[in-house]
Amino acid sequence: MSARAESTSPLARLAGALASTPGARKLALAALAELALPNSRDDAWKYGATRLLDRRDLAPLAPKPVDLAALNARPALDAHRIVLVDGRLRPDLGSLDAPGVTLTDDLPSDLSTDPAFFGDPQSVDDRLRFLNGALCPSRVTLAIAADTCIERPIEIVLIATGNTAYPRLVVELGQHASVSLIEWHLGVGSTESLMIAHEDIHLAAGATLHHATLEQSGSRALAFGDIRARLAADSHYRHQWVALGGQHNRLDLQVSLEGAGAHATLTGLFMADTGSDHHLRTRIEHRAAHTGSDQRYRGVAGGRGRGSYDGKIVVHPGAQKTSSRQSSRNLLLGREAEIDTRPQLEINADDVKCSHGATTGTLDPQMEFYLLSRGLDPNAARALLTYAFVGDILKDLKPAALRQAIETQVLTRLPDAALLREFVA
């Protein structure tokens, strides 16, 4: 690589800056220097603004003090709590004490001993995973023992203090274990931050995981999340994504259904506006017979907001009796708003039930006129219809305190929140 190229590649600059980093991940850092960041010419990164990454300093800095106000701004829930600040586990800020639950904090010692931890640097899908693997300060593993049912939800709070954060999480549920995770992505005010979070989830046979990801970063935060879930027989993974904050968010959600009877229920919504873009990419792999997946997403974009849903379902050979549904409905509230959708099905088995649909449109003028004809103010009518559009996604959030808090957040983004509140009660 020429000296000139080196000086312009963000990853090469990063590798140079971190050349003195101790430990075994030097190899990974060295490999980084040869790579390029994802960009919009890569099919997997067609939507969203990867150029924003190019402008940010990717090197993690020393952690800044935690702003407890940011931590405490989220609604109070009766829950266990794990807090990671800039990717570092902070036991002093959390509390988790339940039989059958273990929390460990380690780091693989070598690129060669745990290739999955880094992913394939040549694959553009793994590019940020590789970056995360090379730079995450620790790997935090939450393990739930077999046959353990954790009644209280566990909150996982990821905070970016204005730094570049590379959280790495592993969640493992033993056979027939069940737990509910509420994961917050928080930022600090309007501080510039970048979070590249990677999560591996393993559900053993019969396990049930309810997992909510609540994107609440600050107005200048970039967040790139990546969740990879593997589901054994008869396990159930339910994921809910609510993206309301941040300057630019992207979630890559890969679910691999590997045992008969495994099922994934994936729902979510985003609300984009000028200066707040949201992008979702899902990949559902049906690798065993009798597996099911159900996706239901809603997107709203106002102002110059951008959003996208890029969802692919792959039914592998032999995955007979698979049932797979995918729905993405999107609402544009402004002439300059844009939402792109790309639903894809790849079916390699003959006895399957698959359906998909993606729509993007504006508010229904007939509904709007109906409300006006009953005396509602035009702004209130539009706000009400917007709320109704996302309402059936919100109503599934649990516990009730979380649902109410998120409903309130959605309402406050709409005009006439006071009137609308009546409809929500």
Q: Which residue has the tokens 């005396």?
A: 375
d(CA 413, CA 368): 19
Tell me the DSSP string of 282-308.
EEEEE-SSS-EEEEEEEEEE-TT-EEE
Pick the closer one to other proteins by CB: 233 or 271. 271
Pick the closer one to other proteins by CB: 237 or 389. 389
Pick the closer one to other proteins by CB: 170 or 371. 371
Pick the closer one to other proteins by CB: 95 or 369. 369
Residues 6+ apart with CB under 8 A from 227: 199, 201, 211, 213, 239, 251, 252, 253, 254
Tell me the DSSP string of 168-209.
EEEEEE-TT-EEEEEEEEE--TT--EEEEEEEEEEE-TT-EE
Pick the closer one to other proteins by CB: 344 or 379. 379
Residue 306 CB, nearest approach to other proteins (Å): 25
Residue 373 CB, nearest approach to other proteins (Å): 5
Residue 383 CB, nearest approach to other proteins (Å): 11
Tell me the DSSP string of 254-278.
EEEE-STT-EEEEEEEEEEBTTBEE
- Identify the CA nearest to 179 among candidates 227, 134, 138, 212: 212
Phi then psi dihedrals of residue 28, to 5 deg: -65, -40
d(CA 61, CA 140): 19
Query: Where does this chain bind other proteins (CB under 8 A)?
Result: 364-367, 369-378, 380-381, 384-385, 387-389, 391-392, 419, 422-423, 425
Residue 412 CB, nearest approach to other proteins (Å): 18
Residue 376 CB, nearest approach to other proteins (Å): 6
Q: Are 349 and 388 in contact (CB under 8 A)?
A: no
Q: Are 72 and 101 in contact (CB under 8 A)?
A: no
Pick the closer one to other proteins by CB: 58 or 420. 420
Residue 294 CB, nearest approach to other proteins (Å): 18
Pick the closer one to other proteins by CB: 57 or 377. 377
Pick the closer one to other proteins by CB: 84 or 393. 393
Pick the closer one to other proteins by CB: 94 or 391. 391
Pick the closer one to other proteins by CB: 189 or 391. 391
DSSP 8-state secondary structure symbol assigned to residue 121: T
d(CA 11, CA 16): 9
Residue 333 CB, nearest approach to other proteins (Å): 16
Residues 6+ apart with CB under 8 A from 337: 272, 301, 302, 303, 304, 305, 306
CB atoms within 10 A of CB 7: 10
Residues 6+ apart with CB under 8 A from 338: 301, 305, 306, 307, 332
Residue 325 CB, nearest approach to other proteins (Å): 18
DSSP 8-state secondary structure symbol assigned to residue 75: P
Which pair of structure tokens corresponds to residue 240? Answer: 């809910």
Pick the closer one to other proteins by CB: 262 or 393. 393
Residue 381 CB, nearest approach to other proteins (Å): 8
Distances (CA, A) of 324 to 92, 190, 263: 43, 40, 10
Residue 204 CB, nearest approach to other proteins (Å): 37
d(CA 33, CA 188): 31
Residue 394 CB, nearest approach to other proteins (Å): 10
Tell me the DSSP string of 346-374.
EE--SS-EEEEEEEEE---HHHHHHHHTT
